[in-house]
Amino acid sequence: MEKDRFRGFVAVGVSGEVRDLLGSVASRLAPRFPQYRFVSCENLHITLLFLGDGIERNMTEVILSSLYDAVRGVSAFDLGLGAPGSFPETGTPRVLYIGIGAGRDRLEDLARKVRRSLSVLGFHEDKPFQAHITLARRKRENRFRRHTGNLSDESSLWRETAVRALGKDDPPCCPATKAIWRVAEILLMESILAPQGASYEVLGRIPLGDAGVWETSGRTDV
């Protein structure tokens, strides 16, 4: 992509403790799902709005300013992990994820504010917001291969094994204490695509509430 343009999205980060927990889950389950590429711990996040490709870099400050105005007065809140699932729910799963339990209503409200604010700048998302953390994506070489097994069983296997790996009882999961984290900012992210997978750069951090002005930053952990 041209240096004066980028592929971007707005996200909420995940705490180090939750990243470690989900990384442990991924390590345990990856051998059972070899047709999927699991996301590295440092890249785990919740996407609020995908902005698209080819965004002009000189729009960065405008986007950050709009986001800052959108979340003023929105106080920090807690999120907790919820039930595992897949996209789509039927057919060949392309994405395996962990949902959000505690704080989901607050997160959905935050996403609405972000989407409403950036729609004025021409950033629109046709898909409704679904609160989740992507843990794995189906490998490209497996997406078009004819599947001879039971696809519904594949989705069910993910839900059942992920629930056990998280130490939950029955879905929908009730978040354990260690699976709860504080959301105090939103992030403007750049996605840098590569054959081995995407890497992310934090372009700016927007504090929730009246914690101060936004910050621009370089590549770092989400």
Backbone φ and ψ of 137, nearest 5°:
-125, 145
Scored b (16 or more CB within 10 A) or e, 174-200 reads ebeeebbbebebbbbbbbeeeeeeeeb
Q: Which of 74, 75, 85, 101 is nearest to 177 (CA)?
A: 101
Sheet holding 45-56, edge to edge: 45-56, 5-13, 185-192, 199-207, 215-216
Residue 90 above 90 pLDDT? Answer: no
pLDDT at 64: 96
Give the tens place of pLDDT for each residue, 91-108: 789 999 999 999 999 999
Give the tens place of pLDDT for each residue, 43-75: 999 999 999 999 999 999 999 999 999 998 899
Backbone φ and ψ of 84, nearest 5°:
-70, 155
**Catalytic-role residue among 132, 137, 168, 205:** 132
User: Is residue 137 assigned to a domain?
Assistant: yes
Q: Which of 3, 10, 4, 2 is nearest to 190 (CA)?
A: 10
User: Is residue 135 assigned to a domain?
Assistant: yes
Encoded tokens for 145 = 């291969």
Q: Is residue 124 annotated as part of the catalytic site, yes or no?
A: no
User: Is residue 111 assigned to a domain?
Assistant: yes
Peptide bond into 84 cis (omega under 30): no
User: Is residue 129 assigned to a domain?
Assistant: yes
**Predicted structure pTM score:** 0.85
User: Is residue 222 assigned to a domain?
Assistant: no
What is the number of structural domains in the chain?
Answer: 1
Q: Where are the beta strands (DSSP E) in 66-131?
A: 77-87, 95-100
Give the tens place of pLDDT for each residue, 127-166: 899 999 999 999 876 554 544 455 557 888 898 888 888 8
> Looking at residue 49, which CATH number applies to its domain?
3.90.1140.10
**Catalytic-role residue among 19, 45, 113, 168:** 45
User: Is residue 128 assigned to a domain?
Assistant: yes
Return the DSSP state at 58. Answer: G
Give the tens place of pLDDT for each residue, 174-214: 445 568 999 999 999 999 888 777 889 999 999 997 655 56
Range(s) of the domain holding residue 62: 5-216
User: Is residue 115 assigned to a domain?
Assistant: yes
Mean pLDDT over 13-38 rounds to 93
Q: Is residue 147 annotated as part of the catalytic site, yes or no?
A: no
User: Is residue 221 assigned to a domain?
Assistant: no
Q: How far apart are CA 98 and CA 68, in angstroms?
A: 28
